[in-house]
Amino acid sequence: MYGFRTSMRVYRHFMRADTNRLPVNGLRATAPHGVRAFRDKRYGEGSSMAISIIDARDVLSHLGNERLLDVRRPDEFARGHIPGARNVTVTPHGDDPGHAAFIAGVEAAFPDTAEPLIVYCRSGVRSAAASKILSHAGYEDIRDYSGSWLDWTSDPSRPVER
């Protein structure tokens, strides 16, 4: 679905960011402890993108709040997912021009764009792309679980819903 080049572009985009400090309206603000975050200022004043990178501990603390978005394919989702997650598949750009179907699916499942939204996939590549798409669509508090499903299932004590 996503090739090596796409993976590297997403990886480079995240790595270009200063992960310890955030520029906010010309000021420098420190990111919360244990959270890497960045702002992409290419889109002009007031329309910058903010995405937090979180780990399994953060996801565990949000279980039950129904704000988990799984962007894997439906067959992957059916084999198991984080409890409470909703599935909206992110597709390659050619299959969904402008990602309109993806954005519409997310807006139907999560209409409140100001509430935190945790995004994950299988390995972190699709969730990174989905986080960027959602940020451009107006979601204000996106938290990308970069370890994603592979990290979640590496610990048998973590709950899995089928």
Taking the chain (162 residues) in consecutive chunks of 10 residues, what is each chunk's mean pLDDT?
A: 56 48 36 44 47 94 90 97 96 77 96 95 94 93 95 96 93
Q: Which helix (H) or strand (E) holds 8?
A: helix 4-15
Residue 16 lies in a domain: no
Say if residues 126 and 90 touch (Cβ distance below 8 Å): yes
Res 49: pLDDT: 58
Q: At what angle do helices 125-136 and 100-109 cross, to 10 degrees?
A: 80
Res 161: pLDDT: 95
Residue 32 lies in a domain: no
Residue 100 lies in a domain: yes
Domain count, the chain: 1
Res 65: pLDDT: 82
Q: Is the pTM of this model over 0.85?
A: no
Residue 157 lies in a domain: no
What's the rounded Cα separation, in Å, for the pair 58 and 46?
A: 28
Residues linked to residue 120 through DSSP beta bridges, in sequence order: 70
Res 15: pLDDT: 53
Domain containing residue 134: 49-152
Which residues are marked as active site?
Answer: 121
Residue 39 lies in a domain: no
What's the rounded Cα separation, in Å, for the pair 118 and 22?
A: 20
